[in-house]
Amino acid sequence: MEFKIITTLLGILMLAMSLIAIYHKKMIVAVIATGAVGLFASIMYLFLAAPDVAMTEAAIGSGLSTIIFFYVLNRIRQNDKEGRESDEIDEIPNK
């Protein structure tokens, strides 16, 4: 019975984190939210009796993937220093 409550809570948290990842204005928060979705998925794999998959998802999905995103964001920010901020692309009003 406790498994059902915890799994429901984890599901709601995962959905909230994925909505933050799509709709938040800053890019850094979106990337960290993607890593958090991977972390909650790793806990869910433990409840589904799959320890191998949980270890792999925790190491790769919420560790290495976030680091590669941060490298790319750093490089883009350096290149774009004199132009517009790259966070404001989604809110172009009249295009």
Partner 1 sequence: MEYITITTGFLIILAGLWAIMTRKNIIRIIIGFSLFDTGIHVVMVSMAYVKGGVAPILDKKELLTDTANKIVDPVPQALVLTAIVIGLGVTALMLAYAMRLHQEKKSLDIESFKDLKW
Partner 2 sequence: MKKLLVLFILAALVGVLYPLYESFDGNTELSEVARFYAKSENVQKVNSQNLVTAVVVTYRGLDTLGEVTILFLTAAIIAFFLKKESEKRTLRKNSEIFKTASKLLIPIITMLGIYIFINGHLTPGGGFQGGAVIASAVILMFLAFPNMEFSHKFFESLESVSGLVYVGLAAFGAILGLGFLDNAILPLGKFGQLFSAGAIPVIYSFVGLKVGAELSNILNKFKSVQADN
* Geometric angle at alpha carbon 48, from 64 and 51, rounded to 5°: 50
Local structure of residue 24 (DSSP, 8 states): -
Q: d(Cα 16, Cα 35) in Å, to the nearest integer?
A: 13
User: Binding partner of residue 67 among partner 2, partner 1, none, CB under 5 to 8 Å per kind?
Assistant: partner 2
Instruction: Rule CB under 8 A: choose which of 26, 29, 43, 79 binds partner 1.
Output: 79
By CB under 8 A, name the binding residues for partner 2: 51-52, 55-56, 59-60, 63-64, 67-68, 71-72, 74-75, 78-79
Residues that bind partner 1 (CB under 8 A): 3-4, 7-8, 10-11, 14-15, 18-19, 21-22, 27, 30-31, 34, 37-38, 41, 44-45, 47-53, 56-57, 60-61, 64-65, 68-69, 72-73, 75-76, 79-80, 83, 86, 89-90, 92, 95
